Structures are given as C-alpha cells and as structure tokens.
Amino acid sequence: MALLEVRNAVKHFPVRGGVLNRVTGHVHAVNGVSFDVERGEILGIVGESGCGKSTLGKVVIRLLEPTSGSITFDGVQITALDHGDMMPTRRKMQIIFQDPYSSLNPRQTVRAMLKEAILFHGIVDKSEVEDYIIELAKNVGLRPDAVGKYPHEFSGGQRQRIGIARALSVKPEFIVADEPVSALDVSIQAQVLNQMSDLKEQFGLTMMFISHDLKVIEHFCDRVIVMYLGHAVERLDCKDVHKRAEHPYTKALLGANPIDDPDDRRPLTVLEGDVPSPFNPPSGCPFQTRCPIVKDRCRQDRPTLELKASGHEVACWEVE
C-alpha cells in the first residue's frame, strides 16, 4: 500500500467583493488531482508559477484544508480528522518552505526553534535534546556552534539547511519540499540537493518535491507529475522525461530548458500567450489557449489523465 494516496484533491479560494463582502467567485487553484506516493519514493511536481504546485503540497499535509477530495496517509484518511486527532500525523508529515528568509523566526536561535519542536512532540528526553540538536546540525552540513546563532547571521543556503534540519527534527516519514532550492545560487542548489538525497537515504524518507525546474526534477525525483492551471496533465517516470514526454505543455517545458552543448544551436521553445486566470479558467482543456496543436474538441471537452500507448498517463485528446 502507498504511504500517501490523494484522490480528486480540489482547492478553490473564495473571492469576496461588493458592499456586503459576498463571495463573487473562486480561484481554482487545484482541480481534481489524484496520485499515490510509494514509501521511499521522491515524487516531483513541476509546472509554471501559479499552476497550483505549492497549494497542492500544503493541501496534502493539511496546512490548507481541501475544498473536496480525500487524502489517506499510512492507511488513515486524514481529511476527516479534527485538530487533536491530526496532531500525531502532523509529526510524520513535514514541509520545507520555499523561502528560507521568511520561514524562520528571526527572534529565535537555531537551538531554540529546533528545541521547541523536539520537546513538543517528545522526540527525545530533555537530557538528550542538546546532543540531538548538535547531531541534526551536523547531518545537514552546519557547524555545531551554528545552533546558537540567529537566522540573519546565515547565508541563504545555510538558512535552507536550517529549514531541512527543522523538518527532520521530529523524525518524519514524509516531507513536502516546496521549491527548496529555487532562491539559491546554482552551485548552492547542487550542494543542498545532494545533502537532501543523502538524508533521504539515511533516514528512509518519502518526499514530494515541488519545482518549476524540470532539470532539477529529472535529476532528483523518481516520478513526475506535470501541472498546468491546477490540473495534472502528464505523469511519467523521470528517467523517461526527454524520450517519452507527450503532452504539448511538457514538451514546451523541456524545450525551454537551456541547452548544455554550446555547439547545439537549436532555438529554445517559447510558449505564446499568458497562463489564463485561475479565477476564470477556460472551458475544455486548460492548455487550449496556448497549445500549438489545439483542435475544436480541445475547446469543448476537458481531457482526463489516461494511460496511452507510450505506457504513461497523459491528459490530451491529440495523444494516441
């Protein structure tokens, strides 16, 4: 059985206006996304900014309440749990936030913020807390004396390592990594990704890795779900992304990646037009306003993820 099972997850944010502050519409952030995450797997979620990746990650661990759908973690349906019943599961599900600058309390030292979570969940005895904190710091590549410092005394890469240590401090089984390297320099990105890969093996973690960079996803993850305007449009193994990607949007993401070979003069793929507003999404296929192979059916009927001849799932009428 999969560690995490998500079925038809939907998250719509109400928009209010007028004199009486009534609901005038909804922002369709996540629209009926379903997937499983197996134990020990790293599932990648990729797409442009505003496609619902981060919202989906927060819904999965119930930092945001889903509008509808079900989420099952380790055999327990957590969408129906109240705050008290959810608390033991919260320890097992952690998140690494995208922005290391705003996700750490500037008034607490590293020691204080880690100690707070460790004592609250009773991870180790009080007498062992200090040694446990030092060990956490070493595991994420920080010096032991760093635990006495405040967040402003660290670089961006070091702050992100503190965020990783905070997520690991309660011994979780599942971590949502919400674009953990997007704000970092490329050289620091590689260091943090390698550190996360080592920690995943060391602690037997299962991860949901969110990114807008398909190259990072391809390097780091086992499987990937491609999202567009709140919908899952393709799901496939990362080792097959370049050879087997079939959805026009996935191909456009691949074509927009910088080319490694300086002698390769292929033009980069540039999608025309802008992403439609999630407040007023188009009918039919969500990608139809920018798709280079759009047909009349695409404008009327919305495709769902279906297993194609290639052996993976694609939501496109024009893919056989």
CA distance 53 to 59: 10
Record the pTM.
0.91
Per the listing, tokens 């690494």 go with 96
CB 231 within 8 A of CB 314: no
CA distance 4 to 71: 7
Among residues of the chain, what percentage have pLDDT more than 90?
A: 55
Express each pLDDT in 243-281 by its tens digit.
888 999 998 888 777 666 677 666 666 777 778 888 888
DSSP label at residue 255: H
pLDDT at 225: 95
Q: Phi and psi at residue 301, in whole multiples of 5°?
A: -110, 135
206-238 burial, b at 16+ Cβ within 10 Å, e below that, comes to: bbbbbbbbbebbbebbbbbbbbbbbbbbbbbeb
Express each pLDDT in 95-121 by its tens digit.
999 887 888 999 999 999 999 999 999
Distances from the Cα of 114 to the Cα of 94, 123, 248, angstroms: 13, 11, 44
| Mean pLDDT, contiguous 10-residue spans, the chain (320 residues) | 93 90 91 94 92 94 94 92 88 89 90 93 92 92 92 90 92 93 80 88 93 86 94 90 87 77 67 83 90 90 87 88
pLDDT at 267: 65
HSE on the CB side for 48, CA within 13 Å?
A: 15
